[in-house]
Amino acid sequence: MRPIPRGKVSKVEALAFGLAPGVTAVTALALATNPAAAALLACTILFYVVVYTAETGHVGRGTVV
């Protein structure tokens, strides 16, 4: 079973653990390349969090999404 449902990790800790590298990566990409590439990365991360993660909880075949 996953750590959040088991109570090993709180939702706040999981959010912080996910946001920190995401924000760091988007910022680093913006500084190293350009804002358009960083925006595309931010959209990709948002899509993963909103669509893929939500679907894996309801559908047994999350890799198809």
Give one DSSP letter per residue of 2-59, joined into a string.
-HHHHTSS-HHHHHHHHHHHHHHHHHHHHHHS-HHHHHHHHHHHHHIIIIIHHHHHH-
State the residue range of the domain holding 33: 22-58
Domain-located, residue 52 = yes
Classify residue 11: in a domain, yes or no.
Answer: no
pLDDT at 23 (0 to 100) = 96
In a domain, 5, yes or no: no
28 neighbors 44 (Cβ within 8 angstroms): no
Q: What is the pLDDT along the chain (65 residues), one digit of tens a residue?
A: 777 778 888 888 888 888 899 999 999 999 999 999 999 999 999 998 877 766 666 655 555 55
